[in-house]
Amino acid sequence: MPFSRSSFSPSTMANERRAHTDLRLPTRDGFPLAAQRFDPPGQVLAAAVIANATGVRARTYHGFARWLSLQGVATCTFDYRYSGLSFPLHLDAEAFTDVERHAAMAAAPRDINLTDTWARQDLAAVIRYASDAWPSVPLTVVGNSMGGLLMTLIPDEWHRITRFLNVNGGNAYYGNTAQPEAARYSVGVVMRERLESDNIFKASELGLGHDIPYGPGLQWMEWFLHPHFSVCRKADADILKRMHLPYLYVGFTDDETVDKRMLESQLNLFSHSDGLKSSLWIDPSAQHPPWLPCQHVTSLVSSPQSIDANLPLRRPVAGRSCAQGQTRAETVWALYLCWIMRGAVAGNVGELRCWTVADERGVERMEMERVEHERAEQARKAGLSRMAMGGGGGKVVWRAGGLRSARL
């Protein structure tokens, strides 16, 4: 049943700098999702929904959402259930202490997960709301990292969507890292033990953002240990092959979380018979004048003050300073806006690739990889010894080049 405006209890924010309307969107299974609506001051020219990265809260994207609204793009942000502000109504998530937040997160049902719950319930509810609120304009789903993966796995909502923009949502399978066995041990053994003991996935210990509930964390680990990552389940792989909407993947050389190999490993999972999927690989420091750092989440953030404390903010490469006074609105946000408004890639700013049938992993190859992976896992469980990490406990930190152990 389509949502109606009377279904919500909005309270308009008084602070003009953060001007938006707070919403509680009921998902189809009845969860009261916390979302925000940014309305343009004049005519609505397009609409956008921002799908968050792993462990990243909606407020991180509010500066970008506000800027989009000032360009005529009505924008919605939200938090997946049991993260950010999306908790049952009897809990005041804004007033949580760290201990209270972790207790509330640990109480989340274990059967919620990334694809069936966060994608097909939570993100789907926001897409339906945006589509119903602004039905006559193009709707773009902007997915950052994990959000860029989840957005393509909601076939029931494809008819509402005009195009996709994926920012750094690559295939982060452990085999795509520089130290695959160390990465596998860190996540598959160390993080799994923590998950079972704490009932929470410690995303913060991987440098991925805030911690997330058990179920989504368990599925993220399932992805990480499979060569097809977000479509490790055959049903999801089949869905991805059927997705035929304009799609642009934007990645950056200064992203230490997802690299170009991960971009390519994600794009070749699609069907490319439609000629609708493209990727753009950008070196921010090579632009004239150089861009501000873009990294994994930073290109969608208005200022360092907007970044959650749990997100790693890295410095530009030494000796490559950014142009004084240059803003994201003049560079990467303008690029995003062009895609959101017109489905076009503006300017010659990077390596633009239009993917073809020759670039895709065929169904037969994917099935062979799936079978080989299952056999390898069975062999591993049957007798392969656990890999030694060497001495004491430590904190595992995610990098595109692998996971490293950082002594506490």
Question: Per-residue confidence at 348, pLDDT binned at 50, 70, 90?
Answer: confident
User: Can you point out the beta strands (E) in 153-276?
Assistant: 163-167, 200-201, 212-213, 247-252
Indicate the DSSP class of residue 261: H
Cis peptide before 316 (omega within 30 of 0): no
Residue 218 has pLDDT above 70, yes or no: yes
Stretch 276-280: mean pLDDT, rounded?
98
Stretch 288-295: mean pLDDT, rounded?
93
Stretch 304-324: mean pLDDT, rounded?
43
Q: What is the mean pLDDT of the chain?
A: 86
Residue 39 has pLDDT above 70, yes or no: yes
pLDDT digits over 261-277, tens only? 999 999 999 999 999 99
pLDDT digits over 102-140, tens only? 999 999 999 999 999 999 999 999 999 999 999 999 999
Question: Per-residue confidence at 379, pLDDT binned at 50, 70, 90?
Answer: confident
Question: Per-residue confidence at 387, pLDDT binned at 50, 70, 90?
Answer: very low
**Residue 212 β-bridge partners:** 201
Question: CB–CB of 282/350 below 8 Å?
Answer: yes
With CA atoms as reference, report the closest residue to 204 among 373, 336, 383, 396.
Answer: 396
Tell me the backbone φ, ψ of residue 11, rounded to 5 degrees: -130, 115
Q: How far apart are CA 275 and CA 183, in angstroms?
A: 35
pLDDT at 304: 56
pLDDT digits over 244-263, tens only? 999 999 999 999 999 999 99
pLDDT at 381: 64
Alpha helices for 42-81 (secondary structure H): 62-70
Residue 153 has pLDDT above 90, yes or no: yes
| Cα distance between the two ends of the chain | 51
Residue 234 has pLDDT above 50, yes or no: yes
pTM score of the predicted model: 0.86
Alpha helices for 134-226 (secondary structure H): 146-150, 180-185, 192-198, 214-224
Note the residue count of the chain.
408
pLDDT at 223: 97
Residue 363 has pLDDT above 90, yes or no: no
Stretch 340-358: mean pLDDT, rounded?
93
Stretch 313-341: mean pLDDT, rounded?
69
Task: Report all structural domains of the chain as residue ranges with CATH numbers, in order of start.
Answer: 16-172+233-384 (3.40.50.1820)
